[in-house]
Amino acid sequence: MSTSWAATITVALTGASGMPYGLRLVDALVQADAQVYLLYSQAAQIVTRQELEISLPARAGEAAAWMTERYRAKPGQILGFGREEWFAPVASGSNPPDAMVVCPCTMGTLASIAAGLSDNLIERAADVVIKEGRKLILVPRETPYSTLHLENMLRLSRMGVVILPPNPAFYHHPKTIEDLVDFIVARILDQLRIPHQLAPRWGEPEA
């Protein structure tokens, strides 16, 4: 893991609604000079097209190149890995990232992580982060939660996993959808201890 970056964060995009959160997170991490290991599912490609009218490239390397250009990242700052790329750094505890965020996170992915299935690189990367004692943040986009969903989340929470539902607040008087997205991404960055100025904090005067 390179020491030239402020942090190395794995970002996994899955097929839940809420892709604006995931892409904005990548953008914010790039601006914070963090390295991003990008993972995403086939369903995430479908959701990205549906919600943002963006065609995410099928090949992880091409997606990383596309995001590098889109977010003006430095060479090598965004690295993409396919779902079966078992030689990726994130697949081994010998080279774990500083933290991992699954955003948005489907309930299927959440359940698989809770069960330790590791059937694809996203699940394996999450398993590595848990076993190595690094921070794992899941951003589950579902409503209402079933008892099964809640039990899986409780099981993960007891392991130290952060469950961060994308529930925006309104005390900062958001004026755009982007303001609502930034509020959630700001909470994720707070959990990662990455400085930002995306959204005002409680008790601070508005700009």
Q: Which domains does the chain show, CATH number per domain? A: 8-192 (3.40.50.1950)
The number of residues making up the chain comes to: 207
d(CA 15, CA 47): 6
Q: What is the mean pLDDT of the chain?
A: 95
Residue 162 identity: V
User: pLDDT by residue (tens digit) across 157-169?
Assistant: 999 999 999 999 9
User: pLDDT by residue (tens digit) across 39-90?
Assistant: 999 999 999 999 999 999 999 999 999 999 999 999 999 999 999 999 999 9
| pLDDT reported for residue 2 | 46
Instruction: Judge whether 163 and 187 are in contact, CB under 8 Å.
Output: no
Kindly state the tokens that stand for 114: 């809770």
Kindly report the pTM of this predicted structure: 0.95
Angle between helix 147-158 and helix 107-115 axes, rounded to 10 deg: 50
Interval 113-123 mean pLDDT = 97
